[in-house]
Amino acid sequence: MREGDSRCDRMLREAGCSPKVIAHCHAVRDLASSFVDRYGVIDSGLVTGGALLHDIGRGMTHSLHHAVRGAAYCRDLGLPEDVVRIVERHIGAGLSADECSLLRLPPVNCMPQTLEEKIVANADNLVKGSHEISIYNRLESSLSLDRRIRHRIYRLWLFCEQIGGCSR
């Protein structure tokens, strides 16, 4: 287990996250770490911590509100704002303030802004349960979805192309 993982695991358990959610967070951390290796000059500790905690709100709800609730929980714990933003902005491959309003979320911009935020959000979209899925599986599953969702998945594909592919 990596340094810091046990602290994050403890926080996830204290928030009420199930072993399945914790396993998912570890799988997202592993994939996000492989993306970090391709970029090099970013805050790998932030990516690791953000990936491990991105679904901390799932201990409170399994709805889309898990990101908002998780971000509030992390703020209450006094975690750094850059970690809080990863938790808040990982949903839906990025949601605009208008999209958040339509989904009855607070009308804030939940589009990942920093490279660290993008890495965690994209890694999360390429992990189903605790298993990595290919960008092609994700694209195929999005074909019948709303145009805005397909556009977000297209951004994920562009990210994969930018880093030289998303398969390890």
Residue 138 located in a structural domain: yes
Q: Is the pLDDT of residue 27 over 50?
A: yes
For range 103-114, the mean pLDDT: 90
DSSP letters for 39-83:
H-SS-HHHHHHHHHHTTGGGGT-SSTTHHHHHHHHHHHTT--HHH
d(CA 66, CA 28): 16
Q: Which residues of 71-89 are buried (b: 16+ CB within 10 A; e: fewer)?
A: bbbbeeeebeeebbbbbbb
Radius of gyration of the chain (CA): 15
Residue 167 located in a structural domain: no
- Would you give the distance in Å from CA 3 to the centre of its chain? 20
Indicate the number of domains in the chain: 1
CATH number at residue 90: 1.10.3210.10
- pTM of the entire structure? 0.87
Q: Is the pLDDT of residue 7 over 50?
A: yes
pLDDT in tens, 29-74: 999 998 887 776 689 999 999 999 999 999 999 998 999 999 999 9
| Residues forming a β-bridge with 85 | none
Residue 168 located in a structural domain: no
For residue 125, the enclosing domain spans 5-162
Residue 142 located in a structural domain: yes
pLDDT given at position 1 = 46
Q: Is the pLDDT of residue 124 over 80?
A: yes
